[in-house]
Every structure is written in C-alpha cells, then in structure tokens.
Amino acid sequence: MINGLILIDKPRGISSNNTLKQVKKILSVKKAGIVGILDPLATGMLPIVIGEATKFSKYIELFNKSYIVDCKLGYKSSTGDDEGIIEKDNRCIKDFNILELKNNLDSFVGTQEQIPPMHSAIKIDGVRLYKLARQGIEVERKSRSIKILSINFLNYSSNILSFEIMCSKGTYIRTLVEDLGLKLNIFSYTKHLRRTKIGFFEENQMISLEKLKNSINNNSDYLISMDSMLSHMKLLTISDDDELKIRNGQSIYYDSDVQDAEIRMQNNHKDLIGVGFIKNNYISPKRLVNFK
C-alpha cells in the first residue's frame, strides 16, 4: 500500500484530473487526490496525495505558492490565457521601461480583494464557473481576500513580461495579469504559467509522469512521507497506552510548552499516528492514520 505525497511536474496541455488518472494508473492505486488544481496550460508542481495521506490535504492547501509567469502585453484573451480567443489591442504598444514595469509589479504586494475569473473551477449553485463561461454565461462573483507576499521582475522582451510571484491560497494569476494590464493601460493575458513551489516543497522534489513510470519499484525516488508532509508541525511522542486512547477518540494529558496548536503525533516506534490539537496540556485527535 502506498501512502504519501507525490509532487508531479505537470506538463502543459493536460488537465490536473487527467494527470491524476495517469498517476493512479501508473501506481495501481484507487485512493488519491489533487491538492491545488492547475489549469491545463499551466505546468509545474501538482501535489497528489495517495492513500492515508488524503486525510492531510488541507494542511498543504493552506501553504503559499510560487509561480513563474509570462505575461503578454498588447493582447487579451477571452479566457485569460492561450486557450481563449486572442484579440490585439488597437492602442499603440509602447516600449515600457524596466523601472515602470517593476514599480507596477511592486504595487500588487500586500493584501487585496480579487474577483475570481469566469474561467475557473469555483462552483456557484453546484455548477463550475468555466462550464457557464463556455456557454457564454457570466454571473456575479464575490471578491476574495488574497495576499501577494512578493513579486519580482525577471525579464521584458518582445512584449513578454516575465516575473516571479509568491502568493496566498486562492490567488488567480490570470486575474492579476489582467489587472496589471489595466495599470499599464494596455491589454494583457497570461502566456505561460509554471508553479515552482508550495510551502516548503521545492522544485527539485518534483517528478515527471515519464520518470514516475520508471520509478514505480523504488518509492524513495518520488514519495514524500506523511510525516514529512506535516513537518511544519511540532512533533510529540506519545506512549502506547495514550495512542490507544487517542485512537478511541479520547483526549490525553501531555505536559508540553506547545499550546493551542495543531501537532503531529508519533508512537514509541516513531510511526506517525496523525494530527491532534493540544490545549491546556490535553491532546484531542483530529486526523489519524489507519494502516489496518
């Protein structure tokens, strides 16, 4: 049985769900899920949790994400990316200077409200927005609070502006690129998008679908353990008796300097038990690993 996290380097042109299906077929697993969908034209880090690791998806969802973005100036897209109908701006595309571009990028750093695009996987009344958009239907969307932690200029050539961005969960890069165009008084759309990092997971930890096919007999080549997934949490070791109580849904007493926080628990054999919450020196179970 496989339990853990795989960071797939998703190729351009296939959906996240299609990627998931391929991973499940390659590894012959039934229980697996995606944490943070990428658009079909986007590439890069696609976390796929397998087996018992699916219980800990939400802890990855909350991590900040980093992207490399190629923004095409002077054109707009009906979908915000290369998949849509592309229209050229009738206005003259001026030769932007680097300082102007950097200053406009810097203006996005911080907390702000963002309206999700119609071409997104958000559901309204049980229907995904992109399905409505394909029918030519546009509905009102509520704005969401997002945070841009950093945004760094990389290059500008042939009307392509490249930058690196670190942002919070729920940020839509296509919308940010269009908003950037508004600031620059020019059409703009996302030409290329690559996710390079999620939380403390780095780009060099990713594996392609092709390499995954050649590594199925050696889990160490691609599988990130559940304990490593949760390594941002404080680790507490509990006794065999306390593990039994936790697994029966009871709270246990544990004298610790960590309070009012989620913690990961292991037993005396250093096996991960799961995630608990400690308050007033009592740990209550939240998500537990079950290998039976």
Amino acid at residue number 270: K
Contacts 24+ apart (CB under 8 A), 267-271: 267/237, 267/238, 267/239, 267/240, 267/243, 268/237, 268/239, 268/240, 270/237
- Shortest CA distance to 116 belongs to which of 174, 30, 54? 174
Q: Is the dihedral of CA 79, 81, 82, 83 positive or negative?
A: negative
Please list the residues that pair with 161 across neighbouring strands: 71, 156
HEC readout, 34-84: ECCCCCCCCEEEEEEEEHHHHHHHHHHHCCCEEEEEEEEECEEECCCECCC
19 three-state secondary structure: helix
Instruction: Provide the annotated active-site residues.
Output: 39
* Region of 221 on the Ramachandran plot (φ > 0 left; ψ -120 to 50 alpha; else beta): alpha
